[in-house]
């Protein structure tokens, strides 16, 4: 069977290969920032998110770049650092019409620039001449890649305090995109990397003193949601935090070790290290864990009037009922909740309700949105993808080296949407964040 599994921009093993080396003469691109001032900053740049897990398989933001600004739809990816857009240059694998491509205009980042050198993984960064351009290559775990050149341009951002600020930000202009194997070519114009590496927009905004080094997303199960840089939208209570694994701080957001609970009970699936990757549509476990989970689910639905739907090409494991299903709520009662229990913090859990691991396809079947990562080349890695991150605000706090989450209604941006609904626009303020309090109980309860 030919399973067309979309894993857009599943981003591990990220390699940023920058051309050339030269003495590290840093240009003074970034203003020094004052830590005291940062602690008092409570403003965030906020973006509305479009997309869904099924049928699209990705979440995107409309990102403005340039002066005058143009909009680019970028896949949001907490599994990589570099943001890039398809480049209006002799371009291989560019899928967009010309007017949606980014046209560089004398704004190439130089090879000697701090960003070009600073991101380099190895020490062999050199520049033949100081005004060489800064080439980059990003490779994604699904064997896709983007190759291009770094440019710097205005990125107008709307902040929650009402200010519109247009800092100059470096990003990739990608002219050679490759997609192989099971990867479908992107229908987006690029990737918004949410990682914490030096090239990421997050790090750049932070070094300009505009935000705290915090990024969060809230992906709605009904599609859409929002994304923010900075810590202004974080509720003052109810979030559960767990420390990032130290090795993860540079490239990926990794938590662990965790144990899988099935219907609240311990399982043999233990010691998991989990990458939180909004660039992956589904959740992946290593083969051993995957088979254990599949066994648990299959044993549990025995005698529940579900039969395997082997003819549904959407995902590897699907079931049909006596009538065709319209949404996961039709099948919710057949399936048990999963949870991840993190060892480091006592009783800390992330609940994965049936909506967090099942989809209902256009054929009316229910399919398992947990996949075998080893089979698609991920080896022993486990990835928590969009499907399991839905309907939660997930916050990556790089300053405190921790990741937090809270069940949330991601359909509305706190403060902002509420304020627009009222009769006057008020300056959004942290005091309004109480709207999260009456939602589902926090995942940490127990
Ligand atoms: C709003 O927040 C931004 C980013 O932190 C900051 O640069 C700006 O000065 C703030 N504007 C006001 C009016 O406080």
Percent of the chain with pLDDT over 90: 63
For residues 88 and 19, is the Cβ–Cβ distance under 8 A?
A: no
Report, as an integer, the average pLDDT of 386-390: 98
Neighbours of 204 (CB within 10 A): 23
Closest residue by Cα to residue 77 from 280, 227, 234: 280
For residues 153 and 88, is the Cβ–Cβ distance under 8 A?
A: no
- Greater pLDDT, 416 or 377: 377
pLDDT of residue 418: 60
pLDDT of residue 251: 72
Tokens of 141: 């775990």
Helix (H, G, I), strand (E, B) or coil at 416: helix
Comparing 131-145, 149-163, 296-310, the range with the smallest average pLDDT is 131-145
pLDDT bin (cut points 50, 70, 90) of residue 137 is confident
Rounded Cα distance between 334 and 354, Å, is 9
Active site residue 277: yes
DSSP, res 37:
H
Rounded Cα distance between 394 and 356, Å, is 14
Active site residue 438: no
Unique residue bearing structure tokens 């890649």: 145
Closest residue by Cα to residue 174 from 182, 165, 158, 185: 185
Comparing 10-14, 75-79, 163-167, 365-369, the range with the smallest average pLDDT is 10-14
Report, as an integer, the average pLDDT of 107-132: 78
CB-side neighbour CA atoms (13 Å) of 228: 26
Fold match between domain 9-233+409-433 and domain 240-405? yes
Ligand 1 atom with minimal separation from the 161 CA: 1
- Of the residues 81, 113, 153, 277, only one is catalytic, namely 277
Q: Which residues contact 271 (CB under 8 A, 6 or more apart)?
A: 256, 257, 258, 259
Alpha carbon of 165 to ligand 1 centroid (Å) = 8
Rounded Cα distance between 94 and 188, Å, is 10
Total residues belonging to the chain: 446
Rounded Cα distance between 7 and 179, Å, is 11
Mean pLDDT of the chain: 83
pLDDT bin (cut points 50, 70, 90) of residue 127 is confident
Q: Which residue's CA is minimally distant from atom 7 of ligand 1?
A: 210
Q: Which residues contact 128 (CB under 8 A, 6 or more apart)?
A: 20, 22, 111
What sections of 15-89 are H helices per DSSP?
35-40
Q: Which residue's CA is minimally distant from atom 11 of ligand 1?
A: 163
Closest residue by Cα to residue 110 from 16, 18, 226, 238: 18
pLDDT of residue 130: 77
For residues 202 and 397, is the Cβ–Cβ distance under 8 A?
A: no
Rounded Cα distance between 256 and 273, Å, is 4
pLDDT of residue 196: 87
Rounded Cα distance between 369 and 281, Å, is 9
Unique residue bearing structure tokens 């650092």: 81
Question: Residue 254: in which H helix or E strand, if any?
Answer: strand 254-262
Domain boundaries 9-233+409-433, CATH class: mainly beta
Give bridge partners of residue 380 from the DSSP assignment: none
Report, as an integer, the average pLDDT of 161-185: 82
Rounded Cα distance between 219 and 411, Å, is 8
DSSP, res 314:
S
- Of the residues 73, 77, 231, 312, only one is catalytic, namely 77
Q: Which residue's CA is minimally distant from atom 13 of ligand 1?
A: 163
Alpha carbon of 43 to ligand 1 centroid (Å) = 7
pLDDT of residue 16: 35
pLDDT of residue 421: 46
* pLDDT one-digit tens code per residue, 222-267: 999 999 999 999 999 999 999 999 765 457 899 999 999 999 999 9
Pocket of ligand 1 (CB under 6 A): 41, 43, 159, 161, 163, 165, 210-211
* pLDDT one-digit tens code per residue, 315-366: 999 999 999 999 999 999 999 999 999 988 888 999 999 999 999 999 999 9
CB-based burial of residue 136 (10 Å sphere; 0-12 exposed, 13-18 middle, 19+ buried)? buried
pLDDT of residue 345: 86
For residues 57 and 6, is the Cβ–Cβ distance under 8 A?
A: yes
Q: What are the extents of the domains in the chain?
A: 9-233+409-433, 240-405
pLDDT of residue 126: 76
pLDDT bin (cut points 50, 70, 90) of residue 183 is very low
Report, as an integer, the average pLDDT of 358-376: 97
Q: What is the pTM of this model?
A: 0.84
Helix (H, G, I), strand (E, B) or coil at 290: helix
Tokens of 417: 């949407």
Report, as an integer, the average pLDDT of 131-138: 88
Candidate of 38, 42, 155, 163 to mutate for ligand 1, largest count of ligand atoms within 8 Å of Cβ? 163
pLDDT of residue 180: 59
For residues 61 and 158, is the Cβ–Cβ distance under 8 A?
A: no
pLDDT bin (cut points 50, 70, 90) of residue 145 is confident
Beta strands in 99-156 (DSSP E): 135-139, 145-154
Tokens of 269: 């699936």
Rounded Cα distance between 284 and 369, Å, is 8
pLDDT of residue 143: 62
For residues 391 and 355, is the Cβ–Cβ distance under 8 A?
A: yes
Domain 240-405 has CATH 1.10.3720.10: no
What sections of 338-429 are H helices per DSSP?
386-389, 416-421
Alpha carbon of 159 to ligand 1 centroid (Å) = 7
Q: Tell me the DSSP string of 177-221.
A: EE--TTPPPPSSSEEEE-S-STTSHHHHHHHTTSS-SEEEEEE-T
* pLDDT one-digit tens code per residue, 258-296: 999 999 999 999 999 999 999 999 999 999 999 999 999
């Amino acid at each position: 069977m030919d399973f067309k599994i979309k894993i857009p921009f599943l981003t591990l093993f990220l390699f940023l290969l920058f051309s050339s080396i030269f003495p590290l003469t840093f240009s003074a691109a970034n203003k020094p920032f004052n830590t005291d001032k940062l602690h008092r900053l409570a403003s965030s740049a906020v973006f509305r998110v479009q997309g869904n897990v099924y049928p699209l398989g990705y979440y995107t933001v409309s990102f403005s770049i340039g002066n005058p600004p143009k909009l680019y739809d970028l896949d949001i990816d907490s599994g990589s650092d570099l943001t890039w857009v398809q480049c209006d240059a002799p371009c291989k694998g560019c899928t967009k019409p010309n007017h949606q491509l980014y046209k560089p205009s004398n704004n190439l980042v130089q090879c000697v620039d701090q960003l070009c050198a600073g991101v380099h993984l190895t020490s062999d960064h050199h520049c033949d001449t100081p005004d060489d351009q800064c080439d980059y290559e990003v490779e994604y775990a699904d064997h896709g890649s983007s190759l291009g050149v770094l440019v710097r341009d205005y990125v107008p951002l709307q902040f929650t305090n009402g200010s519109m600020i247009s800092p100059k930000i470096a990003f990739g202009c990608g002219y050679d995109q490759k997609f192989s194997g099971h990867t479908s070519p992107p229908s987006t114009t690029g990737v918004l990397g949410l990682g914490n590496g030096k090239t990421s927009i997050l790090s750049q905004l932070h070094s300009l003193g505009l935000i705290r080094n915090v990024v969060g997303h809230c992906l709605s199960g009904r599609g859409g949601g929002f994304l923010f840089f900075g810590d202004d939208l974080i509720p003052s209570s109810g979030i559960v935090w767990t420390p990032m694994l130290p090795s993860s701080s540079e490239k990926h957001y990794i938590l662990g070790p965790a144990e899988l609970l099935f219907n609240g009970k311990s399982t043999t699936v233990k010691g998991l290290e989990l990458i939180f990757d909004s660039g992956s549509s589904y959740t992946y476990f290593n083969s051993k864990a995957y088979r254990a989970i599949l066994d648990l689910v299959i044993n549990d639905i025995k005698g529940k009037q579900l039969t395997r739907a082997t003819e549904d090409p959407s995902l590897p494991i699907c079931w049909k009922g006596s009538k065709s299903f319209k949404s996961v709520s039709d099948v919710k009662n057949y399936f048990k909740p999963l949870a991840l229990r993190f060892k480091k913090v006592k009783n800390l859990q992330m609940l994965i309700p049936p909506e967090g691991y099942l989809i209902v396809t256009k054929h009316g079947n229910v399919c398992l949105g947990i996949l075998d990562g080893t089979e698609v080349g991920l080896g022993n890695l486990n990835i928590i993808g969009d499907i399991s991150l839905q309907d939660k605000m997930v916050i990556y706090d790089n300053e405190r080296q921790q990741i937090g989450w809270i069940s949330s209604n991601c359909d509305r941006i706190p403060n902002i949407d509420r304020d627009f609904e009222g009769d006057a626009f008020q300056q959004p303020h942290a005091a309004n964040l109480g709207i999260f309090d009456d939602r589902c109980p926090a995942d940490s309860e127990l």
